[in-house]
Amino acid sequence: MRRAVAFVGLLGIAAAGISLSIMPTSRSAAAASEARTFLIPASDGYGVADCISSRAECGQIVANAWCESQGFGKAVAFGVANREDFTGTVARPTPAQLAEQPLSITCGE
């Protein structure tokens, strides 16, 4: 009796292993071929704003790294986001609002 139960258990484990091995592997859904723009808070705490907002040489490296982490190939454009892109308004911002203006990174292939 014990052998029969053990054999049935072994068959169950083998069947589960086979069914898991023939399942399609799930890959992370890579980005589509079209470009996508990300808005990043300027006060994210990582110092990203220093490179991207000043358009320094490190900005391209940081923007490319951001795009790669999101599943894209490289950064197409980056910089400080236009106010109308994230608020829907074109009013002149105050100096405090300028400091809080998010960054924009456009990623593509």
pLDDT tens digit string along 34-63? 889 888 888 777 777 888 887 778 899 999
Helix H or strand E segment including 17: helix 2-21
Domain count, the chain: 1
Asked if the model's pLDDT at residue 68 lies above 90, the reply is yes
pLDDT grade, residue 64 (50/70/90)? Answer: very high
Is there a domain that residue 19 lies in? no
Is there a domain that residue 75 lies in? yes
The Cα 85–Cα 94 span in angstroms is 17
Query: Which domain covers residue 74, as residue numbers?
Result: 31-108
38, 76, 83 from 108: Cα distances, Å? 11, 6, 22
Is there a domain that residue 18 lies in? no
Q: Which pLDDT score is estimated for 57?
A: 83
Cα 33 to chain centroid distance, Å, stands at: 15
Q: Which pLDDT score is estimated for 47?
A: 75
Are the CB atoms for 76 and 106 separated by under 8 Å?
yes
pLDDT tens digit string along 7-34? 776 666 766 667 656 666 555 555 456 8
pLDDT tens digit string along 69-107? 999 999 999 988 877 766 666 666 666 655 567 888 999
Specify the pTM. Answer: 0.58
Is there a domain that residue 62 lies in? yes
